[in-house]
Amino acid sequence: MIDRRRFLGGTLALGLAPLTGAGATSGLEVTGRWPTGNRRLAPPSLVDGQVLYAGDATLGRLDPARAQPLWSTPHRLPGAAVFRPRGDGDRVIAGSLGQLAAWRPGIDAARWRYTAQTQIGTPCLAGNQLYFGDGHELLAFDANSGAIHWRFAAIADTRISYAPVLAGATLFVGPGDGRLYALDRADGQPRWVVERMAEWQYLRQLLLSGDVLVAGGYKEKLYGLNLVDGRQRWTFSAGNFINSQHVADGVAYLWSPTGWLYAIDTDSGAVRWRQRTSDYRGGAADWAAVLAELVTADGKLYALDLASVLHVLAVDNGAEIARVRLPEAVQPWLLPLPGGELLFGSRDGVLFAARLSG
């Protein structure tokens, strides 16, 4: 493996905010930096140990063990890339609000491009099938050729902005018309529809956890729904707006502007633990708002706040075990890498990998 530090002119260690209790780390070591040619970066993806990235100008692929990106090319999308690139060893799919396109890694010319009639929503890639919204329509695409297999129209004047989710042969989508649709993957025909406009208005994010569909409501509620018929198994009220939830190993994690971070059992809806992040009295221990998606890896929960402070919590009890201010203003996301490193994006479009030390 390449020692990337010899390309970086050394490492950077930063102090941590004071913490009570044992287990606090002592700093952050930057282990890699990759300029991307972008000013703004969408959240990257990890595919087979390699990172896919896209921004306002380029997209590319890098190996965290190498000093130089494996491939980078101008994407020529009408606007900045807005969602995580999808892909595998044979393709990379990225898009702006106005266009979706696919590339073969290492080749600059796009394999196909789809221009939106209204607005592109976050896609779901499942094998050779790609599902995404364009305005109020859901499209099923051939990920290799760009051919459209079928369209499903929800209520007009709504937008399918969030990714559908696939469970077996059923595709679930919440298009913003107060309904949850279960569609046949093969032809897009509805298997069942649940309408609950008065309660959830629309579902912000759909994630699978075993036989439960975990869905965030428009306001402060999180729902656990039955995959067979959409019946509500449980509901949890966070007391304020939920930006997003992260689901892993039977737990849904979310941050609420009420000043709490919650871990919710996805089978029962019970609160496993909660951790106070702010009492809004202006104390040094208060977190800034958390708009970055929460992520888990190796028994840790990572939360990046708007003050560029990384909070590391234990997934079993929510105890904060480390708090570190990052070396520069970062974009609101992070990506765990193999081997315990974390990937961040600076405000000037540079990707950098770092490791907690101590």
**Mind listing the pLDDT tens digit for each residue in 91-122?**
999 999 999 999 999 999 999 999 999 999 99
Q: Which two tokens stand for residue 104?
A: 């073969």
**Mind listing the pLDDT tens digit for each residue in 274-301?**
999 998 887 778 999 999 999 999 999 9
Please give the residue that has the higher pLDDT: either 325 or 14.
Answer: 325
Domains in the chain: ranges and CATH? 1-35+288-358 (2.40.10.480)
Give the pLDDT of residue 358: 63
- Amino acid at site 175: P
CA dist 319 and 328 (Å) reads 26
Nearest to 264 by CA among 228, 297, 301: 301
Chain centroid to CA 213: 17
CA dist 214 and 3 (Å) reads 41
Cβ 173 vs Cβ 150: under 8 Å? no
Position 15 pLDDT exceeds 50: no
**Mind listing the pLDDT tens digit for each residue in 159-207?**
999 999 999 999 999 988 889 999 999 999 999 999 998 888 778 899 9
**Mind listing the pLDDT tens digit for each residue in 139-167?**
999 999 999 999 999 988 889 999 999 99
**Mind listing the pLDDT tens digit for each residue in 33-80?**
999 999 999 999 999 999 999 999 999 999 999 999 999 999 999 999
Give the pLDDT of residue 200: 85
Cβ 181 vs Cβ 154: under 8 Å? yes
Per-residue buried b or exposed e for 220-230, using 16+ beta carbons within 10 Å of the residue's own CB: bbbbbbebeeb
Nearest to 61 by CA among 83, 94, 31: 94
- Counting residues of the chain whose pLDDT is more than 90, the rounded percentage is 78
pTM recorded for the entire structure: 0.90
DSSP code at position 79: S
Cβ 354 vs Cβ 31: under 8 Å? yes
Chain centroid to CA 77: 21
